[in-house]
Chain A
Amino acid sequence: MSDQSSTRTPTGDPGGRSSSARAFPEDPISDKPPAPAPEAPPARKKPTKVRAGDRIFQNLTTGAGIFVVALIALIGIFLVVQAIPALKADKVNFLFNHGWSTNDPANMAFGIADLAEVTVATSLVALIIAMPISLGIALFLTQYAPAKLARPFAYVVDLLAAVPSIIFGLWGILVFAPAIEPFSEWVNSTFSWIPIFAPGNIAPNVRGTIFTAGIVLAVMILPIITSLTREVFERTPTAQVEGALALGATRWEVIRTTVLPFGKAGFVGASMLGLGRALGETIALAVILLIPQGRNFDWSLFDGGATFASKIAQNYSEFNNPTSAGAYIAAGLVLFVLTFLVNFAARSIVGKKVG
């Protein structure tokens, strides 16, 4: 039921707007792909003579498109080229080793296992906290809030995205961490039998933990998830909403039967984009997280550590030889690939729905 109705909406909406003529022969079963296909070729065929302005504009836009792709490719090549000498000099397994020793270019032993685990852990904590809150905000803004309130409220949420991450970092470590310390201690001592709440590797300190960092990170990715989700929810077809209301559905039932099924994929995609941002977040984490000396990440939320990005940020000022720098660049390469995959997955989820 929900599936059928949602496939119908994209057809009805853009089709009805772009050409009113085609709105007539439309029947509910015909789906979207055929619709744009016949539309595009006639538009191009009719004027056989291509005007100069058209051509220039097309070239400009094509160029812009190629530029971005080339840029990404060049960044990838740069990372690979710089990383290879360091990877060759690496004495241990790059992917599975937990240590990081790059001071002596002749005797380098570094692996990204710890960085990867901390990166994933902080991002997951952030995501788990941010997803339900974002969903709540988006639903509130689109379904409950009066229009007068919704717009300024949405601006405020978007404004959150404009706060520089160093501000979040400083707030996190100077204000938030001390404030949440009693709660962290309570969770830590009460639930220490659950592995993820076990005493951390920076104990007895409970401020510069993945727990703290994850919450701050959640605040940072809230606006991205919220605004994208809100956009998707706003597009819920009015006809469906009104239909549900006509059938006697309450507000909550309307959300459950129309808004959520329609916006689910968009919400998941938005969350993945938020995850992408969380994975790459740098300076806030560098400021908040304490880094244990000689102990590895142990899957406790009260551990400290360094993520890919924070590790690079902390050490970039002392890249004094290309081989040692290459080790960090190799870590950056892994992060590059990781965020690329996450974004790719996010896009394909969002795209599946729209296309």
Chain B
Amino acid sequence: MKIMRPLGAVGIVASAALVLAACGSDPSASNSGSGSNSAAPAATGTAQVDCGGKSPLSAEGSTAQKNAIEVFNQAYNKKCSGQKVNYNGTGSGAGVKQFNANQVDFGGSDSPIKDADLEAATKRCASPALNIPLVVGPIAVGYHLSGVDNLTLTPQVIAKIFNGGIKNWNDPAIKAVKGNESLNLPDKPIQVVSRSEESGTTDNFQKYLGAAAKDVWTQGAGKKFVGGVGNGAQGSNGVASTVKGADGSITYVESAFAKDGVTPAKIDSGSGGVELSAENVAKSLDAAKFAHPGTNDLAMDLNGIYSSNVPGAYPLLLTTYEIVCSKYSNPDVAKAVKAFLTVAATDGQQPLSAKGYVPIPQSLQDKVLKAVKEIS
């Protein structure tokens, strides 16, 4: 017992230090919020929130946005004291299923619901169901190559690397990308690192390649990596640490993990290399089109984002959605959902950057707030 006590104290101090370090060393944290650029006044506004209604709200779905929901929950609790949301991260499919079965007040999904799911959701709500994008996370193409820290890649080159078309760093195709002319690319095999388990990041990355490099990436998409080259590692942290430990390796990973030896590549979609930053992601979202323009269903046309070549826009990102009813049968639930989503779209966005997401830009925030306002 005498021995255990000081150890416990050490443990607490150590874990606190870890938490602090995790917050402090995040690159995207420093990127975001410096939104002097007109395209990216990241959503900071504290909107008027009409607190009250059901508490706790129940929600279920995507594991990718679980951390974000926790952030939203803190902001929600701060704004509307005593109110909270219980979010169960069980996967997008389960979230949609539970929402449609009227088991939860709203669902979380990595992709907007459509077709049969949307019909079922509309039936459950007895009103149109809405996709509300609240969490946006860029994906980095991160590499580790000693002596090279300023690499630019085109979607075609990325696709070729990840399906084995380019095997060596000194391949002329890499050198030919604008911005790489002066780089001293070594004669070293490229080690592709992918996620060994099924993952939404893999799915979005492969969808991106399918949209932006149609002719090269013919493997298709899906949650499993289908490039057929390289090695798989477990989890985002696993791929990041593998890349860190292997000179000449490259991977795709959530932006929060692209640091300390994993350098995010610039992506050139045809209008010059674009760095991975909150501003550049916001530019992409600004230019985004919606699947149902004019309605409050804010399902985004990701293919449009992926294949666009808006100058200065970083196209490789994933968005996750909250699935909500436009009209709830219980006004108590509607009130709480509105309050939560409002807080999430305003106060909740800024702290997100510490978790590796980017705050939604003004243009999208306006649309989200409008849609949320009309929920009843």
* CB-CB contacts below 8 Å: B219-274 with A: 222-225, 227-234, 238, 241-242, 245-246, 248-249
Give the complex CA separation of A287 and B238 in angstroms: 7
Give the complex CA separation of A173 and B193 in angstroms: 15
* Chain B residues in 8 Å Cβ range of A173: 238, 241
| Contact, CB under 8 Å: A294 / B229 | yes
Q: Which of A174, A317, A320 contacts B241 (CB 8 A)?
A: A174
A48 within 8 A of B: no
Contacts A290-B233, A293-B225; is A207 near B245 (CB within 8 Å)?
Answer: yes
Which of B20-28, B129-137, B194-202, B287-295 lies on the face that meets chain A? B194-202
* Chain B residues in 8 Å Cβ range of A315: 197-198
* Chain A residues in 8 Å Cβ range of B224: 103
B63 within 8 A of A: yes
Contacts A205-B191, A207-B246; is A314 near B91 (CB within 8 Å)?
Answer: no
Give the complex CA separation of A145 and B17 in angstroms: 41
Q: Which of B197, B223, B229, B233 contacts A208 (CB 8 A)?
A: B233
Q: Report A261-299 CB contacts with B as 1/0, cut-off 8 Å.
A: 000000000000000000000000011001111100000
A306 within 8 A of B: yes
Closest residue of chain A to B229 (Cβ to Cβ) is: A293
Give, as a whole number of angstroms, the nearest-CB distance from A216 to chain B.
14
* Chain B residues in 8 Å Cβ range of A318: 91, 197-198, 223
* Chain B residues in 8 Å Cβ range of A290: 193, 196, 231-233, 242
| Contact, CB under 8 Å: B197 / A314 | yes
* Chain A residues in 8 Å Cβ range of B231: 202, 205, 208, 290-293, 304
B192 within 8 A of A: yes
* Chain B residues in 8 Å Cβ range of A105: none
* Chain A residues in 8 Å Cβ range of B232: 290-293
* Chain A residues in 8 Å Cβ range of B63: 317
A177 within 8 A of B: yes
Give, as a whole number of angstroms, the nearest-CB distance from B30 to chain A.
25
Contacts A207-B245, A320-B91; is A314 near B234 (CB within 8 Å)?
Answer: yes
B11 within 8 A of A: no
* CB-CB contacts below 8 Å: A154-191 with B: 173-174, 177-178, 181
Q: Report B192-222 CB contacts with A as 1/0, cut-off 8 Å.
A: 1110111000000000000000000000001
Q: Which of B63, B192, B245, B248 has the most CB of A within 10 A?
A: B245
B93 within 8 A of A: yes
B189 within 8 A of A: yes
| Contact, CB under 8 Å: B242 / A207 | yes
| Contact, CB under 8 Å: A291 / B233 | yes
| Contact, CB under 8 Å: B91 / A293 | no
A33 within 8 A of B: no
User: What's the interface size class on A, roughly?
Assistant: 20 to 34
A204 within 8 A of B: yes
| Contact, CB under 8 Å: A204 / B191 | yes
Q: Report B156-197 CB contacts with A as 1/0, cut-off 8 Å.
A: 000000000000000000000000000000000101111011
Give the complex CA separation of A286 and B228 in angstroms: 19
Give, as a whole number of angstroms, the nearest-CB distance from A283 to chain B.
9
Closest residue of chain B to A290 (Cβ to Cβ) is: B231
Q: Report A206-223 CB contacts with B as 1/0, cut-off 8 Å.
A: 011000000000000000
Give, as a whole number of angstroms, the nearest-CB distance from A236 to chain B.
35
Give the complex CA separation of A315 and B195 in angstroms: 11
Give, as a whole number of angstroms, the nearest-CB distance from A316 to chain B.
9
* Chain B residues in 8 Å Cβ range of A304: 231
Give the complex CA separation of A101 and B222 in angstroms: 12
Give the complex CA separation of A314 and B238 in angstroms: 12
Contacts A205-B246, A207-B245, A293-B228; is A286 near B198 (CB within 8 Å)?
Answer: no
Give, as a whole number of angstroms, the nearest-CB distance from A213 to chain B.
12
Give the complex CA separation of A291 and B230 in angstroms: 8
Closest residue of chain B to A104 (Cβ to Cβ) is: B222
Q: Which of B193, B196, B229, B230 contacts A314 (CB 8 A)?
A: B196
* Chain A residues in 8 Å Cβ range of B227: 293
Give the complex CA separation of A178 and B227 in angstroms: 27
Give the complex CA separation of A320 and B198 in angstroms: 11
| Contact, CB under 8 Å: B91 / A317 | yes
Give the complex CA separation of A318 and B232 in angstroms: 16
| Contact, CB under 8 Å: A287 / B91 | no
By Cβ-Cβ distance, the 4 closest A-B pairs, closest first, are A291-B232, A318-B198, A314-B197, A294-B228
CB within 8 Å of B: which residues of A?
103, 173-174, 177-178, 181, 202, 204-205, 207-208, 286-287, 290-294, 304, 306, 314-315, 317-318, 320
Please list 18 pairs of residues, one from A and one from B, whose beta carbons are closer than 8 Å in the complex, sorted by A's number. Answer: A103-B223, A103-B224, A173-B238, A204-B189, A205-B191, A208-B233, A290-B193, A291-B196, A292-B230, A292-B232, A293-B230, A294-B228, A294-B229, A306-B196, A315-B198, A317-B63, A317-B197, A317-B198
New A-B pairs, 4, CB < 8 Å, besides A204-B248, A207-B245: A178-B245, A291-B233, A292-B231, A293-B230
